[in-house]
Structures are given as structure tokens and as C-alpha cells.
Amino acid sequence: MRRRHQGRGELRNKHPPPPNPHPHNPPPNMFRIDQPITARGGPMPPTTDHLHAFIAGLPKAELHVHHVGSASPRIVSELAARHPDSKVPTDPEALVDYFTFTDFAHFIDVYLSVVDLIRTPEDVRLLTYEVARDLARQQVRYAELTITPFSSTRRGIDERAFMEAIEDARKAAESEFGTVLRWCFDIPGEAGLEAAEETVRLATDDRVRPEGLVSFGLGGPEIGVPRPQFTPYFDRAIAAGLHSVPHAGETTGPETVWDALTHLRAERIGHGTSSFRDPELLAHLAEHRIPLEVCPTSNIATRAVRTLDEHPIKEFVKAGIVVTINSDDPPMFGTDLNSEYAVAARLLELDEEGLARLAKNAVDASFLDEPGKTRIKDEIDTYTATWLAP
Ligand SMILES: O=C(O)c1cccc(C(=O)CC[C@H]2O[C@@H](n3cnc4c(=O)[nH]cnc43)[C@H](O)[C@@H]2O)c1
Ligand SMILES: [Zn+2]
């Protein structure tokens, strides 16, 4: 994605970045690794200030971001204060430590403790509207938000009130922020076939399914949760016109990605991180243009990948796979979508046009209608051309 005539990480533009405030450091147009990146809210990846500013204004689409997982520290603290019985800290500062995970299972435990805070339709609407606000602040024009309705209905929230709450927030976000939201309903796989049945019922019963629903997924732990058992449920969802986007290859091997492709008829793969271990799988993903929903910092935070520099994203690009950049559960991982684009810029040595291509990959891989895709891609092109203009 780097422009051919550019050196590594160089910026091609007529507006030179601001003078280097630290003359003893490398010139501002070279990526520096001047401090380790932590998945725990560590400093913005060492992307140049100039590229960082470009990213902040770049129109974007996000395809892999979770509803509850996107609850900001402010929202989580506010909800925790409403429910003193919860073990979730009410202090946003304490929440940073609370959102530090020893492994994936620990992440799920913490995630579910936040799910337990969402107890009323008003909580659902507040959360959804605030998530949309946070997305809009990052120039996200379109997002497919993964929601796990089973986790809310089994905790007593009425299903129709739940759907009304998310739809009300979606319409408010579109009119007030200009951010288009669509829903992915996912099965929490560890909860088994009861959860699968409830999720596909809510996704396909016209009396309940929300207007904004476009896709059907599978989340939660992968270890001990084989994908083929969910085939009948994905068949019903696909027959109802939904797109299949299961998580796979996040904490298990390439065989899980193959299962998601062959049994669940995945159109995109959530994470797909372990695909790099199977050259045949890499070639298949590239040949059939099956996008990966890559979430770099998430993979570090859940210990799926040891360090960002070891993340296989570069192998995916080299294999010709369509890569999209996503934040997954941004506040829980101490990140946001802009930071993930900055990570991608560093790992893939991208300039502005490379970043614009990543943003357009996500638009192309989305389930937004064609006029909507064209509109956002045109905006990306105009923004990039204006940024690079002499
Ligand atoms: O809601 C329940 O009662 C329940 C019972 C057993 C297991 C579960 C889950 O596993 C819920 C997992 C929950 O996590 C979401 N999520 C967020 N980020 C990720 C990720 O990176 N990888 C996998 N899952 C993720 C997922 O959407 C589920 O809602 C729930
Ligand atoms: Zn996820």
C-alpha cells in the first residue's frame, strides 16, 4: 500500500510537517519507535504528528466494534454508580486497571461484568447513542456494531424494548451526528445452542428484528466452541438475508477460520489472526477476496498476539488479502479507531494514500448500500486530495 516511489514511511506532501520540536530525534517524517506501545492506554503509536492529524480527519468506516465493548469509561462509571452491587469500579481511573487482562478468558469475565450493568432499555439507548457519538468524533461515517441480544434478553430486558432502544439511538445518531449505524447480532458461542436459537430467532422474526440489522456473527471464546455446530443457525440467518461474519482464528488456529468459511459461509472473518500460519488459507482469503477484520491492539490486550511488531497484519497485506482496521472493544483495550489506524500506518509503513486505501477497504467490505459506499469513498478521496494538494 506504500506508494512505489516513496521511501519507508516517508511523507510525500508539499506541506512539510511542523519543525521537529526535538532536533536530536530523527526527522518528523520518519516513523520512530521511541517508546513501547502498550495495549493498556499507552501513548499513541509513534506515528508522525502529521499522519496522526491526517488520520483524525480521515472519513472512516468500522466493521468490527462491539456494542458493550465500546462503552466509554464515563458511561461504564455512570452505570456502575447506578448499580452498587456491581464489582465494576465507579472511578474511571480505577477502570484502566480493571481493563487489564491476563488472558482471553479474563477479558470475557470482565466483559460480562460490564454486560451486567446494562439492565434497562434506557441503559441500552444511552450506551448506543454515546457509542455513536464517540464514533462520530473519529470521523466514522459508517459502523457495523456487534450486539449480543441474548446477553441482554437473558438478563431480563424485554426484547421489543431492547430493539426499540437500539433503533431509536441509531436514528438519532444518523440525524444528529451523520453517522450511519447498522447492527450485527452475534451468538455468544460459549453459551451454546440455546444462545444460538435465541439469537437467530431475534434476527429473523420480522416481528422483532430491527431495521438496521445486516449481519450475523459468532463471538466469545473459540477454545472448546467448535464452529460447525452453529451451521443450522447461520443457514437460517443467511436465508433471511443476513451476512455471515463470525469471529475465527482469534485464539485458535487456522482450522477455525476454515470452519467459519466452509460451515458458516463467512463473507468476512472477525480477526482471522492465526491465518498467517496456513499459506493455503492465506491464498484462499486473497483469491476469494474475503476481508479480515483486523483489530491489532485487541489481539495484544487479550494476549492473542505477544507484541504489535509480531502482529501478522504485514503477512496479510503481502498475501494480497483485503485488510480492514478495527478497534473491537476500544475503551477496554485503551485504544480507539484512530489509534488503530496509526498502528497500521507504522506496521505497514503507510503514507496518506495508503491510509486512505485502508479506509476504502472497510467501505468496500461493508454491507452499506452502493450509493452510501460511493458517497463515503468520494469523501475519502476528496479529503486526501485536499490534504496532499500543494
Ligand atoms: O451473556 C451471557 O450470558 C454469556 C454466557 C456465556 C458466554 C458469554 C460470552 O462469551 C460473551 C462474549 C461476548 O464478548 C463479545 N466480544 C467482544 N470482543 C470480543 C472479541 O474480541 N472476541 C470474541 N468476543 C468478543 C462477544 O460479542 C460476546 O458478546 C456470554
Ligand atoms: Zn470482536
In angstroms, the CA 145 to CA 169 distance is 12
* Amino acid 17: pLDDT: 39
Q: How far is the CA of 147 from the centre of ligand 1 (A)?
A: 10
Average pLDDT for residues 12-24, to the nearest whole number? 39
Q: Cell digits for 68?
A: 458493550
Query: Regarding predicted confidence, which is higher, 55 or 10?
Result: 55
Mean per-residue pLDDT of the chain:
89
Task: Specify the DSSP element, H or E, that contains 184.
Answer: strand 180-188
Question: Quick check: 54 pLDDT over 70?
Answer: yes
pTM: 0.88
Question: Quick check: 152 pLDDT over 80?
Answer: yes
Contact 357, 102 (CB under 8 A): no
Q: What is the DSSP letter of 369?
A: -
Cell 441480544, residue? 149
Average pLDDT for residues 336-350, to the nearest whole number? 97
User: Per-residue pLDDT tens for 280-298?
Assistant: 999 999 999 999 999 999 9
Tell me, using a 6 A CB cutoff, whether residue 298 lines ligand 1.
Answer: yes
Residue with CA nearest ligand 1 atom 26? 219
Q: Is 93 helix (H, G, I), strand (E, B) or coil?
A: helix
Q: How far is the CA of 381 from the centre of ligand 1 (A)?
A: 36
User: Per-residue pLDDT tens for 128-151?
Assistant: 999 999 999 999 999 999 999 999
Which of 111, 116, 302 for a ligand 1 pocket mutation test, highest count of atoms within 8 Å of Cβ? 111
Q: Is 21 helix (H, G, I), strand (E, B) or coil?
A: coil
Question: Quick check: 5 pLDDT over 60?
Answer: no
Nearest residue to 284 (alpha-carbon basis) of 234, 335, 320: 320
Tell me, using a 6 A CB cutoff, whether residue 188 lines ligand 1.
Answer: yes
Q: What is the DSSP letter of 48?
A: -
- The catalytic site residues sit at 250
Which atom of ligand 1 is found nearest the CA of 66? 17
Which of 109, 116, 151 for a ligand 1 pocket mutation test, highest count of atoms within 8 Å of Cβ? 151
Question: Quick check: 37 pLDDT over 90?
Answer: no
Tell me, using a 6 A CB cutoff, whether residue 51 lines ligand 1.
Answer: no
Point out the least confidently predicted range of 12-16, 27-31, 311-315.
Answer: 27-31
* Amino acid 47: pLDDT: 61
In angstroms, the CA 63 to CA 141 distance is 11
The DSSP bridge partners found for residue 180 are 142
Which atom of ligand 1 is found nearest the CA of 69? 17
In angstroms, the CA 3 to CA 355 distance is 11
Residue 300's CB: how many other CB atoms inside 10 A? 24
Nearest residue to 300 (alpha-carbon basis) of 362, 247, 250, 350: 250
Measured between alpha carbons, how far is residue 317 from residues 12, 43, 142, 321 in Å? 21, 25, 23, 6
* Amino acid 370: pLDDT: 98
Q: How far is the CA of 32 from the centre of ligand 1 (A)?
A: 36
- In the chain, how many H helices and how many E strands? 16, 9
In angstroms, the CA 84 to CA 99 distance is 18
Query: Regarding predicted confidence, which is higher, 266 or 24?
Result: 266
Cell 499459506, residue? 279
Tell me, using a 6 A CB cutoff, whether residue 111 lines ligand 1.
Answer: yes
Tell me, using a 6 A CB cutoff, whether residue 353 lines ligand 1.
Answer: no
Q: Cell digits for 209?
A: 428484528
Predicted ipTM beyond 0.95 = yes
Question: Quick check: 28 pLDDT over 70?
Answer: no
Give the confidence band of 82 by pLDDT, cuts at 50, 70, 90. confident
In angstroms, the CA 209 to CA 18 distance is 51
Tell me, using a 6 A CB cutoff, whether residue 235 lines ligand 1.
Answer: no
Q: Which ligand is nearest to the CA of 108?
A: 1
In angstroms, the CA 261 to CA 177 distance is 35
Q: Is 213 helix (H, G, I), strand (E, B) or coil?
A: strand
Q: How far is the CA of 289 from the centre of ligand 2 (A)?
A: 20
Tell me, using a 6 A CB cutoff, whether residue 151 lines ligand 1.
Answer: yes
* Amino acid 48: pLDDT: 82
Which atom of ligand 1 is found nearest the CA of 302? 21
In angstroms, the CA 100 to CA 95 distance is 9
Q: Cell digits for 177?
A: 451526528
Nearest residue to 335 (alpha-carbon basis) of 59, 138, 94, 91: 138
Give the confidence band of 38 by pLDDT, cuts at 50, 70, 90. very low
Question: Quick check: 101 pLDDT over 90?
Answer: no
State the pairing for strand pair 269-271/247-248. parallel
Contacts of 4 (CB under 8 A, 6+ apart): none
Query: Regarding predicted confidence, which is higher, 1 or 191?
Result: 191
Query: Quick one: fold of 50-388?
Result: TIM Barrel (3.20.20)
Give the confidence band of 10 by pLDDT, cuts at 50, 70, 90. very low
In angstroms, the CA 198 to CA 48 distance is 47
Which atom of ligand 1 is found nearest the CA of 148? 29
Q: Which ligand is nearest to the CA of 302?
A: 1
Domain ranges of the chain: 50-388
In angstroms, the CA 99 to CA 318 distance is 33
* Amino acid 11: pLDDT: 33
Contacts of 76 (CB under 8 A, 6+ apart): 88, 92, 95, 114, 117, 331
